[in-house]
Amino acid sequence: MADRERAVTRIGRALTQGETIVVFGDYDCDGMTATAILADGLRKLGARLVVPILASRFSGGYGLSGAALERVLAADPGLVITCDCGSSDHVTLRQIQARGLDAIVIDHHLVPEETLPAFAFLNPHRPECGFPYKGLASCGLALSVLAGVRTKLERALDVRDWLDLVAIGTIADVAPLTGDNRVLTRAGLSLLAEGKRVGLRALFDLIGIEAGKRLAASDVSFRVAPRLNAPGRLGSPEIVLDLLLETDIARARELASAIESQCQARRLEQDKILNEAEEMIAQAGQQSALVLGKEGWNHGIVGIVAGRLADQKGLPTVVVGFEGEVGRGSVRGPAGFPLFDVVSACQGHLERFGGHQAALGLEVRKENLEAFRRKFIAVCESYTDYEKPAAEEPFLVAPEDRLADVFEDLCLLEPCGEANPRPTLGVEGEILSARSVKGGHLKLELRLPSGSRVTAFGPGLGAKADELSGRVRLTCELRENHFLGSTNVELLVRELPVLL
Ligand SMILES: [Mn+2]
């Protein structure tokens, strides 16, 4: 790994010489877990003073901004380590260098051509980086650096203790769950399920994740990560770092419930924006792409709203929150839609933009929104034959197979998620009951060919409940359902059942 040896030697020297080390991280799960791993690990290796600092969406934004640099320098560090950011922060890194300080960048974002003015630059995407696995997220890189420092100082420190954080950061960052990441997250999820980290234990108690129960990657994506991300979306992510580092259970419970209430506040805010957006969409009538903006929409949340709308409507979607004349927005779209190409073609109307084909952020002035909207829609309409990802053929479950056994087998494939999708199954059975439940979801009871009964749940499919009867084939996933102390396998239905 390019510069790993150089970084490890420098950090080792900072430890033995008692330098103050600032670990500066991004406000998302990957950045926060990487920061926690290094802060905690270096303290355990005897660092005199480690000051963890996180970026803020509302002051300086992503990366080592000018505003962030002021906070970093206020801690009077001898060494600065950036986590999950820094790869394009040439200006502020040069300022650090000019003060005679060293900076080590640990990141996995795009590597610009201009040489980075850093003492060491660890990024698997550097062309000169020989590390064979390119999928590590920043938390995985941070663990590798910690292990290197440990070895350099000839100390006994079991870095596997931080694999739970690596699992959270890697899964939340939608890094591929292949190769090294698969090994790290699989072990990390087991550790996470044991519930030894006090802060996460407190959070899990609060949200009903029982200690000792098997955890899937989807539990992290849908239950854990959204909560850890909420405080950063609303303002200050520091409370999450405090939770990850807390060792006192009483204090951890306070932090966990503060995070949970921020998550609820985030949800309310999100629903409010979604409702207002839905109204705008209804008023505008039929459109081939959505561009929505409003004063006051929280730009930490517009990304979630854009994702929801893009899923629901199947359209390329831009949602912008304005604060005065300038708005910040997020771009999402149907799987496979080349959003980066589209936004690049509209850049004349934008102040800034960045991201990749599947997701972008942008900055636009209020007076340019309408022109941008027209251009964006026109360009989207020109991409009629983009490459949609092929629908996956379901694996048919044989009538004699017990679903509980199939589920156990499928668990061997976990963690499933990015680059290792959970297999889609085809299950046939006879409908015993079908009804629509709260939220418009479909609830089915089925008799399988083996005679056993199973329940099925179809998110958003409740509208057609009345038309379902007789023999059907379901396209579904299997999941464990814990209810009143018993555990059953149930079907998670992905599309309307096919009548046979
Ligand atoms: Mn990351």
Beta carbons within 8 Å of 114's beta carbon, 6+ residues apart: 90
Domain contains 361? yes
Q: H-helix or E-strand containing 266?
A: helix 249-284
Q: Would you call 283 exposed, middle or buried from its count of C-beta atoms within 10 A (0-12, 13-18, 19+)? A: exposed
Q: Which of 239, 255, 271 marks a domain boundary?
A: 255
Other C-beta atoms closer than 10 Å to the C-beta of 9 total: 14
Q: How far is the CA of 179 from the centre of ligand 1 (A)?
A: 17
Strands (E), 346-424: 352-356, 359-365, 395-396
Output Rg (C-alpha) for the chain, integer angstroms: 24
Does residue 124 form part of some domain?
yes
Tell me how far the alpha carbon of residue 452 lies from the centroid of ligand 1, in angstroms: 44
Instruction: Report if pTM > 0.75.
Output: yes
Which range (277-281, 294-298, 398-402) has the least confidence?
398-402
In a domain, 273, yes or no: no
Assess whether 247 and 291 both reside in one domain. Answer: no
- How does DSSP assign 127-166, residue by residue? TT---S-----HHHHHHHHHHHHHHHTT----GGGGHHHH
Task: Give the pLDDT confidence score for residue 386 in this predicted structure.
Answer: 85
Q: Angle 90-98/66-74 helices, nearest 10 degrees?
A: 30
Residue 79 near residue 10, CB atoms below 8 Å: yes
* Residue 7: pLDDT band with limits 50, 70, 90: very high
Cβ pair 442, 464 in contact under 8 A:
yes
In a domain, 275, yes or no: no
Long-range pairs for 275-282 at CB < 8 Å and ≥24 separation? 277/305, 277/309, 277/319, 281/309, 281/313
Q: What is the pLDDT of residue 460?
A: 85
Do the Cβ atoms of 358 and 343 come closer than 8 Å?
Answer: no
- pLDDT tens track for 93-130: 999 999 999 999 999 998 999 999 999 999 999 999 99
Q: Which domain holds residue 486?
A: 395-499
Best CA proximity match to 96, nearest among 127, 123, 121, 64: 64
- 30 alpha carbon to ligand 1 midpoint, in Å? 5
Same domain, 99 and 191: yes
Same domain, 250 and 306: no
Q: Same structural domain for residues 98 and 203?
A: yes
Asked if residue 303 and residue 354 are part of one domain, the reply reads yes
pLDDT at 249 over 80: yes
Calculate how far, in angstroms, residue 370's C-alpha sits from the geometric centre of ligand 1.
33
Q: Is the pLDDT of residue 482 over 80?
A: no
Q: How far is CA 154 from the centre of its chain?
A: 35
Location of structure tokens 């590590």 = 136
Q: Near ion ligand 1, which residues have CB within 5 Å? A: 30, 84, 137-138, 173
CA 90/CA 82 separation, integer angstroms? 13
Q: What is the pLDDT of residue 494?
A: 87
What is the CA(458)–ligand 1 centre distance, in A? Answer: 32
246 and 290 fall within a common domain = no
Ligand 1 centre distance from Cα of residue 161 (Å):
20
- Ligand 1: centre distance to CA 138 (Å): 5
Phi, psi (degrees; rounded to nearest 5) at 211: -65, 140
- Whether the pLDDT of residue 483 is over 90: the answer is no
Whether the per-residue pLDDT at 391 is higher than 80: the answer is no
Listed in sequence order, the residues at least 6 apart from 188 whose beta carbon sits closer than 8 Å to its beta carbon are: 163, 164, 165, 166, 167, 168, 170
Instruction: Count Cβ atoms within 10 A of the Cβ of residue 285 and give its class: 0-12 exposed, 13-18 middle, 19 or more buried.
Output: exposed
Per mean pLDDT, which range of 87-96, 148-157, 215-224, 460-469 is the poorest? 460-469
As a whole number of angstroms, the distance between CA 288 and CA 242 comes to 45
DSSP notation for 244-264: HH---HHHHHHHHHHHHHHHH
Per residue in 13-34, pLDDT (tens digit) is: 999 999 999 999 999 999 999 9
Distance 465 CA to ligand 1 centre (A): 41
Q: Are residues 312 and 231 located together in one domain of the fold?
A: no
Ligand 1 centroid–CA 165 distance in Å is: 13
| Tokens matching residue 158 | 């079991």
Number of structural domains the chain divides into = 3
On whether both 367 and 450 belong to a single domain, the answer is: no
Write out the E strands in 152-232.
none
Contact 357, 343 (CB under 8 A): no
> Mean pLDDT, to the nearest integer, of 375-403?
90
Q: How far is the CA of 392 from the centre of ligand 1 (A)?
A: 28
| Placement of tokens 């096919």 in the chain | 498
Q: Report CA(192)–ligand 1 centroid distance (Å).
A: 20
Would residue 447 count as lying in a domain?
yes
In the prediction, which pLDDT does 110 show? Answer: 87
- For residue 481, is pLDDT > 90? no
* In the predicted structure, residue 486 carries a pLDDT above the cut 80: no
What is the predicted pLDDT for the residue at 464? 86
How many Cα atoms sit within 13 Å of 71 on the Cβ side? 16
Q: What is the CATH number of the domain that holds 491?
A: 2.40.50.460
Is 271 among the domain residues?
Answer: no
271 C-alpha vs ligand 1 centroid, how far in Å?
A: 27
Q: Given pLDDT bands bounded at 50, 70 and 90, which one contains residue 230?
A: very high
Q: What is the mean pLDDT of residues 406-432?
A: 94
Q: How far is the CA of 84 from the centre of ligand 1 (A)?
A: 5
Each residue's pLDDT tens digit, 281-300: 999 999 999 999 999 999 99
129 Cβ contact list (under 8 Å, min separation 6):
1, 2, 122, 123
pLDDT the model gives residue 455: 95
Residue 321: give its domain's CATH number: 3.10.310.30
Among 64-73, 135-144, 383-392, 429-438, the minimum mean pLDDT is found in 383-392
Same domain, 221 and 194: yes
Q: Distance (Å, rounded) from C-alpha 353 to C-alpha 329? A: 9
**CATH number, residue 206:** 3.90.1640.30
Average pLDDT value for the chain: 95
DSSP letter (8 states) at residue 495: S
**Which residues, 6 or more positions from 10, have their beta carbon under 8 angstroms from its beta carbon?**
79, 102, 104, 119, 120
